[in-house]
Structure 1
Amino acid sequence: MSKKVGRAIADYGMIEDGDKILVGVSGGKDSLTLLKILWDRRVFVPIHYDVLALHVDLGFTGTKQEAFRRYLETEGYPLEVRRQAVAGEGGREPLTCFWCSWNRRRVLFEEAKKNGCNKIALGHHKDDIVETILMNLLFEGEISAMAPKQEMFKGELHIIRPLAYVEEREISRFARLMEFPVCGCLCPQAGRTQRAVVKKIIADVQKTAPGVKSNIFRSLQRIKKEYLL
């Protein structure tokens, strides 16, 4: 899996010498995998970069959260924890995926600036990107995806997704092998989102078309403009 991460980093120029990377760590298998791979790769890649883990506590309770934080500290990862409650905060806003995501992203930007980080690494993988393409097509009426590398604030900051070539099943297997203390998704909306609907659609189609995920992933690199409206 590290080879796929390395290829994605090289293809999109995600990491450069001297970078300081803020890794968003939720406690799930994806972000824990991303953190370990980026941390371990520092030993053998021909460039130097620093890694800082950030956990954004959104106020959802769970008994495994403390265990995963202790794990990070025991493993020696530099860790920052930032509390940003969104669940029923003052009753001003309904709890939606957009509201939750926006608050988490805002905290990541603030912490990156405070800690002098020029890159934010997120644990989105190939399945996430494929699902986002279909979500935007079906629910937003647009053709777009999660970019493996995205420029923010006129180049002052970049969001990178080093797991862009890695499938979720590979991450699940790796997380079990590493015995990560995964705390899982604590969101009360889990399983009832647009993403959950699209995930099921892809799983159903994949039963008869095993290459469907790779085909969707490649589709935005093979646009035939002469056939567009």
Structure 2
Amino acid sequence: MKKRIDHSIGKAIHDWDMILENEAILVGVSGGKDSLVLLDRLFAFQKKAPVRFDILPVHIDAGFEGSFTEELGQFVADTYYAPLQIEYKEYGVLAHSDKNRENPCFLCSRLRRKRLFEIAREKGCKKIALGHNKDDIIETLFINICYAGRIGTMKPRQSFFNGVLDIIRPMSYVEKKEITALAQVLNLPVFKNTCPSADKTKRSEIRQLLETLYAHNKHIKGNIFRAMGNVALDYLLDTKK
């Protein structure tokens, strides 16, 4: 299990030139199993990688009651001998308040990402590593199609601000079920998501739809993922014509 996931992570890093010599990588640590597995494997990769790089784990507390932030910080320090930089914000509370007329998840995510960009610049990190996986990339494609009327998704590596910062997703080739299994093998802690919108999102709806499709044919997930890199532009609608 661990060897297979490490191979997939290594392949994604190689395919997309995610990590270069002497880079500092900011790792967004939400406390979920995806980000914890990513952090664990990056620290393991750091010890044997052909390039030298630094890791800066960062957690943004969204301001909800029942926060696990202190426990998360202690776990990272005890396990990896690295400090977790913690930012206490009210992004989640604001996103769920009457002042917000947008989707709460959209606003909270946007504010957290904006702050990660700022921290990366402050700390001299050119890369921000996030724990998105293969399932997340497929789900985002369908969310955009169904709710935004456009075809697009998250890329394993995306540049922002004319290449000043990159978001990298080393687990882009790893399935969520593999991450869940490895989290159990590694005995990673389970932190309760205190967001009131947890499991009530458009992503949850799309995930249920896709799970129904996958149940009918084991090849569908792989076909969808490959299709995103095999686009027949001549057979898509061109509104300009």
Q: Same fold, TM exceeding 0.5? A: yes
Could you tell me which of 161, 166, 170 is aligned with 1:153? 161
In the TM superposition, residue 63 of structure 1 has moved relative to its aligned partner by: 5.7
The answer on whether the counterparts of 2:34 and 2:132 sit within 8 Å (CA) in structure 1 is yes
Q: 3-state SS of the aligned residue for 1:188?
A: coil
Deviations 1:49-70 (A, max 9, x none): 0000000000123364432221
Shift in CA distance, 150/63, structure 1 to aligned 2, threshold 3 Å: closer
Q: 3-state SS of the aligned residue for 2:152?
A: coil
Q: 3-state SS of the aligned residue for 1:151?
A: strand
Could you tell me which of 9, 23, 26 is aligned with 2:13? 9
In the TM superposition, residue 13 of structure 1 has moved relative to its aligned partner by: 0.7
Structure 1 partner of 2:233: 225
In the TM superposition, residue 45 of structure 1 has moved relative to its aligned partner by: 1.1
In the TM superposition, residue 185 of structure 1 has moved relative to its aligned partner by: 2.5
Could you tell me which of 175, 184, 196 is aligned with 1:167? 175
Distance in 1 (CA, whole Å) between partners of 2:39 and 2:66 is 21
The answer on whether the counterparts of 1:62 and 1:183 sit within 8 Å (CA) in structure 2 is no
Q: Report 1:33-44 matches (<5 A).
A: 33-44=37-48
Shift in CA distance, 11/184, structure 1 to aligned 2, threshold 3 Å: farther
Q: Report 1:1-229 matches (<5 A).
A: 1-62=5-66, 64-75=68-79, 76-89=81-94, 92-94=99-101, 96-229=104-237
The answer on whether the counterparts of 1:19 and 1:49 sit within 8 Å (CA) in structure 2 is yes
Deviations 1:115-155 (A, max 9, x none): 11110000000010010011111111111010100001111
Deviates most, 217-226 or 9-18: 217-226
Distance in 1 (CA, whole Å) between partners of 2:224 and 2:65 is 36
The answer on whether the counterparts of 1:18 and 1:47 sit within 8 Å (CA) in structure 2 is yes
In the TM superposition, residue 184 of structure 1 has moved relative to its aligned partner by: 3.8
Q: Aligned Cα RMSD in Å? A: 1.4
The answer on whether the counterparts of 2:67 and 2:194 sit within 8 Å (CA) in structure 1 is no
Query: Quick one: percent identity of the two aligned structures?
Result: 39
Aligned length: 229
Scaled by the length of structure 2, the TM-score of the pair is 0.91
Gaps of 5+ in 2: none
Shift in CA distance, 184/10, structure 1 to aligned 2, threshold 3 Å: farther
2:84 aligned partner, one-letter code: L
1:48 aligned partner, one-letter code: R
Scaled by the length of structure 1, the TM-score of the pair is 0.95
Gaps of 5+ in 1: none
Distance in 2 (CA, whole Å) between partners of 1:44 and 1:145 is 31
In the TM superposition, residue 203 of structure 1 has moved relative to its aligned partner by: 0.6
